[in-house]
Chains A and B, each alone.
Chain A
Amino acid sequence: DSGVTQTPKHLITATGQRVTLRCSPRSGDLSVYWYQQSLDQGLQFLIQYYNGEERAKGNILERFSAQQFPDLHSELNLSSLELGDSALYFCASSVDNLSYEQYFGPGTRLTVT
């Protein structure tokens, strides 16, 4: 158990809908990272937050947004969902904004039908 929690574990929704994925980092970690893993793209970095502020952006679509709250949990919002958004979404945390030693949550499997 990495100490990072994600909810929900599975999500099935229709195209055009909007969903919110939630992540709680390990106790004491200030950085939260979001990743998307699909069969054709592999593991792709989406976005990083550090202590409530956006720190780095990767291949995140404009339809996706994220935030980190004062209690350090984070949410990833996916809107206008398309079939191609079906993937595993992982959250990871690290102690600070410079550490690449990241601890991953169990992931949320999103299926868009």
Chain B
Amino acid sequence: SQELEQSPQSLIVQEGKNLTINCTSSKTLYGLYWYKQKYGEGLIFLMMLQKGGEEKSHEKITAKLDEKKQQSSLHITASQPSHAGIYLCGAPTDKLIFGTGTRLQVFP
């Protein structure tokens, strides 16, 4: 079965710094979804990538899909405390499977 591994597992950055979260699949990716979860709350849909090489941006968050590497990266520019939370990648199989999650903390 397909698995998604995210790295790093946890990230603590100072406000204003840039950061990157990676999501690597054990099998071919036919699309990739990024979600954000605030602690103990529901997931918020961020963006969907459907084609290799596709890049999308939402405010200060940019995500790219590299089909050859079976990987997606999510980049946050000039991080803010509001970016804190758990970032989850999801991949469509016969259902939507999720990565292990990356916990992001941003301190002033």
Specify the chain B residue showing the minimal Cβ separation from A4. Answer: B42
**Residues in B37-61 with C-beta less than 8 Å from chain A:** 40-45, 48
Candidates A45, A104, A105; contact of B95 at CB < 8 Å? A45
Q: Which residues of A contact B88 (CB under 8 A)?
A: 43
Please determine whether B43 and A104 come into contact, CB atoms closer than 8 angstroms: yes
Q: Distance in Å from the Cβ of A60 to the closest Cβ of chain B?
A: 11
The reply on B87 being an interface residue by CB < 8 A is no
- Chief secondary structure at chain A's binding surface: strand
Is B16 part of the binding interface, using a Cβ–Cβ cutoff of 8 Å? no
Interface size on B, residues (CB 8 A): 20
> How would you classify the secondary structure of chain B's contact residues: helix, strand, loop or mixed?
strand
A101 at the interface (CB under 8 A from B): yes
> Do B95 and A109 touch across chains, with their CB atoms under 8 A apart?
no
Least Cβ–Cβ distance between A10 and chain B, in angstroms: 10
Interface size on A, residues (CB 8 A): 21
Q: Would A88 and B48 be within 8 Å (CB), given that A42-B98, A42-B100, A100-B96 are in contact?
A: no
Whether A52 sits at the interface, judged by CB under 8 Å, is no
Contacts of A8 in B (CB 8 A): none
B90: contacting residue among A48, A100, A109, CB under 8 A: A100
Measured between C-beta atoms, what is the minimum distance from B81 to chain A in Å? Answer: 21
Q: A42-B100, A43-B43 are in contact. List 10 more A-B contacts (CB 8 A).
A: A2-B42, A43-B88, A100-B33, A101-B33, A101-B45, A104-B35, A104-B44, A105-B42, A106-B42, A109-B40
